[in-house]
Structure 1
């Protein structure tokens, strides 16, 4: 009887021990499975290595002028217009394209019938400049005395062509001259008309852009019943 009780106790103790060992495993087996977590992110692709810099392209050859239609009009975009040419200068220093005038006054010595005449001259000219040539219409007066003290007067109208040599001006002209010399024996005057030519050279003393103060020397030769000739010098202003 006692052996049965002891064996039963052994069985219960073994069962209890087995139950204690199996209980945690059963508990783990009965727990619900864990909720699925977020999907793992895929790894980003690695940045590809920088491509080698391409060599610069060679310039394309000039295609030539664009083709033209039957009417002569060019196809395609218009070609670039050429740069405008520099404006043409008005001329050398002191010259002015267009209208201008001159004033002058000075002294003169003339010889007429072997008679010396001294006096002062004054005049004006008006005209214009075309490129490097100036054209003037001029009028000049003269008042003086002969070597014997007789009063003498002259009036000259002329047409003059002038060009430049730096600050110098060279010109020549032709015109008509009227001379009057008072007689010694009466109050009447001896008059004569003449025609001739002249040449002059001037220098710009004070250039003022298109204007100038100038000094001029002139030689004139006129033909009548006798030759009247002589030099003169003057100071003038050109506008």
Structure 2
């Protein structure tokens, strides 16, 4: 994707698996190649640093003000446990979790489910954190008519974006009752840049870390003094979806 977009951005290798429990994947949603079958040219393989080492280096150099986390929190949780002071001046914006209906089980969102122990560590760390969960992201949708005028243009990058969104629409059609793309990850990016597109409430959250039907479930913690995060509870869905286009 970086080569297609003509961008040079450091890439690192994430953790091999969760802090605990059995690894899970999302091949049913993203396909065997992670791109729902969309073909891209592949660069020659090169050794990659670990995500933890790249992030630690960037934080020490004070080149990071905001971390937008779009997956399981394994790498962040490991580094927070080892060097928490690196995060004192940083905000974390995480796409993950739900206090309503899940998308991988009835109770859990995939990123929280994939590594619930990491989720628990980050949410109880006391660091400045905003959580953009399914409670708001499922209200931000792109529909087929949004792509009718080729909003991304006819460049190679634009064509791949169009293909990716149409593949998502096909995936979500039987689940949502209409062909639409739920824009989960982009919502966290928008939240980092335009925080006023969302309304937040301070919530102390616990994560179910045991294997079983409640794995990855988020629960509001009533205990006094528990660390709290800013949890997104409302979104200006139309405004956010327009930003994508």
Which TM-score applies when normalising by structure 2?
A: 0.21
Q: Which has the higher strand share?
A: 1
Q: Which has the higher helix share?
A: 2
Q: Which has the higher contact order (CA 8 A, sep 6+)?
A: 2
Q: Larger radius of gyration, structure 1 or 2?
A: 1
